[in-house]
Amino acid sequence: MSVDKLKKVNPKRFNMTLLSKHYILETTKQNKHMFELNVWTLWRVFIVQMGTKKIEDKLFAEIKGRIKEEDISAPVRKGPYYYYKKTLEGKEYVQYCRRLISDNQKVPSVNDTMPTGPDAPPEHVILDENIKAQQHEYYSIGTFKVSPNNKLVAYAEDTKGDEIYTVYVMDIETQAPIGEPLVSVTSNLEWAGDDALVYVTMDNILRPDKAWFHALGTKQSKDTCLYEEKDDTFSLDLEASENKKYLFVASESKTTRFNFYLDVSKHEEGLKVLTQRVDGIDTTVSHRGDHFFIKRRSDQFFNSEVVACAVNNTSSTTVLIPHRESVKIQEIQLFSDHLVAYERENGLPKIIVYHLPSVGEPLRSLESGQVVSFIDPVYYVDSSESEFSSSILRFSYSSLKTPPSVYDYDMKAGISVLKKIDSVLGGFDATKYVTERQWARASDGTLIPMSLVYRKDLVKLDGSDPLLLYGYGSYEACIDPSFKSSRLSLLDRGFIYVIAHIRGGGEMGRQWYENGKLLKKKNTFTDFIACAEHLIEKKFCSKERLCINGRSAGGLLIGGVLNMRPDLFKAAVAGVPFVDVVTTMLDPTIPLTTSEWEEWGDPRKEEFYFYMKSYSPVDNVKVQNYPHILVTAGLNDPRVLYSEPAKFVAKLRDMKTDDNILLFKCELGAGHFSKSGRFEKLQEDAFTYTFFLKTLNMTNHL
């Protein structure tokens, strides 16, 4: 059917959707090919009709032009080798590489650099994702772990985007496979010495429920089940201690977590209980010397405390870092002589380094830790892999105007050394950009922090500037202000970019999360609306220039606020949005439902049913005008089934009273996290930005 004929059938609906109810309801195995064909055909029709393909291509070229295509990551020292990832010009995926450290006896220093000249030890490419990905539309390695003796590597690959992995083990030097692959597993695996693995599998609703011990060279069917979690509200996690002497299998819900430990040197003894299952107690564990170290959260100590117990007496604990109501302990990292705490205070991340007494000496409360300092007013910090036996802490850092950076910090001298900062080509100058913080007052008086960035020579701050407001607000996730080079294509066109740190996230501590979940979930939506209203009031933008964006649970946020205040926004993008909340949470046979009743509520209970029904986007679409909307999905998405956003789009199409654009874009070869190639991801950014520019009438001068 031609473009003109499509328009004649229903001119109002033509540019409002790419997917009719027919395609939504009849996607069976028998007609899947026809579904994909029709979606693709309609999508191409839209691209031609809207006349945006040239704009998208120009933006993509611009975004790609900022990338240093041939590059390496900051090398990580492990034993006698430097390990790193390498990207090649024109290639979508990475190579995993290593080089021998010629002076391995030298004590590691923050000033060490990996030699790369002709006299340096040769580079060895362990695995090339580009070769592996040739036969697949989607390719992702979820885990890549080298054995303790540096002879073998185990890696988990996903070739569909459904997050069901196959694990391969190979000899690093010869590339020879070791044994048969492990199939239908998660990406969560650890080495148990040099000749065994521990891994996790899922049940039929993709809940990680069993931990297994696998001896290399044996069949998967002969593996030993270490633990099975039968409570379908709990899922398994697996971690290794920093010194690799212990593995920890944890079973966790949204409020409770308890742990078992496996002594790698005595794996035949199996798992032993480390922390008991107690409702409302959440523990994360590690090991050093003759002590286990435990980060422990409870209703009383809601921002967590750090305690230690003797390996031979796990029932008696000593408080090392006490609970503080204004400081949340996010994570701890152990070294042979130090403990590093990643904390949050007033919404900003912090790193505190504590010196530990020698192994064998008594542990007591830790005093006067040294604070690692940062320069930006708002920023992002994350832990990185470091050598347990060294005194060098590695961490990553960025801000809305500072590209991703890797630092080594000498914990004895208190000195930070920049090891790598991502190159941004095309004349990027960080001094042109301003980052700042704003606070919006919510309807109940709570102050909501926002992180902003804009180009100071382009914005007018008189209400006429275009603005993109991003939000998430679920699962205690912290959406910290980090750098994204593709975002410069908006900033350099005069956009202001803002992150709303709304309740339901974890930016302001545990209570911030508790006040945006279950029967307080609507705070997430009203906080976001308050941020939008504040930005308009302070003349950062106007309703006619305000765009919003969110993914997954952030897509739920977008759907919710569109129903509540459609008049407030010009354009919205809801990526893989969780929008059919009640229907999904009523079905325990689909992924994530049972484990998420503690996040959203169990709608089989009347109180939760009616509360969830009052905000679920699909259930609250109204006969009213809506802004321009783009909704995306992934055909293989196990987290948000593509039928949810498709249903939302269909209902909007039937009920909305305007002629604004409503698009549904379903990626046919991807899952929840979109396409897998690095340039493919940039192409998606280019498309999204084209949508915003088109709806704001900013495409004429591109």
Nearest to 444 by CA among 517, 522, 542, 513: 522
Token pair of 332, please?
């701890």
Side chain identity at residue 539, one-letter code: K
Rounded to the nearest 10 degrees, the angle between the axes of helix 53-64 and helix 678-695 is: 130
Distance CA 504, CA 560 (A): 14
- Annotated catalytic, 654? no
Q: Is 475 helix (H, G, I), strand (E, B) or coil?
A: coil
| CA atoms within 13 Å, Cβ hemisphere of 325 | 1
Element housing 685 (H / E): helix 678-695
Residue 622 DSSP SS3: coil
Catalytic residue among 410, 602, 637, 685: 637
Q: Which two tokens stand for residue 88?
A: 């090649």
552 has catalytic annotation? yes
Given the residues 390, 580, 672, 676, the one annotated as active site: 672
The CB density around residue 298, as the number of other CB atoms within 10 Å, is 16
Please compute, for residue 27, the number of CA atoms within 13 A of its CA located in the half-sphere on the CB side. Answer: 20
Give yes or no for a contact between 603 and 609, defined as CB atoms under 8 angstroms apart: yes
State both tokens at 270. Answer: 């199996």
What strands, in cross-sheet order, belong to the sheet with 140-146? Answer: 140-146, 152-158, 165-171, 182-191, 196-202, 208-215, 224-228
Active-site option among 304, 399, 489, 552? 552
Phi, psi for 193 (deg, rounded to 5): 85, -160
Query: DSSP 3-state assignment of 92?
Result: coil
Strands 327-334 vs 338-345: parallel, antiparallel or unpaired: antiparallel
Maximum CA extent, the chain? 83
Is position 637 annotated as part of the catalytic site? Answer: yes
Residues annotated as catalytic are 552, 637, 672
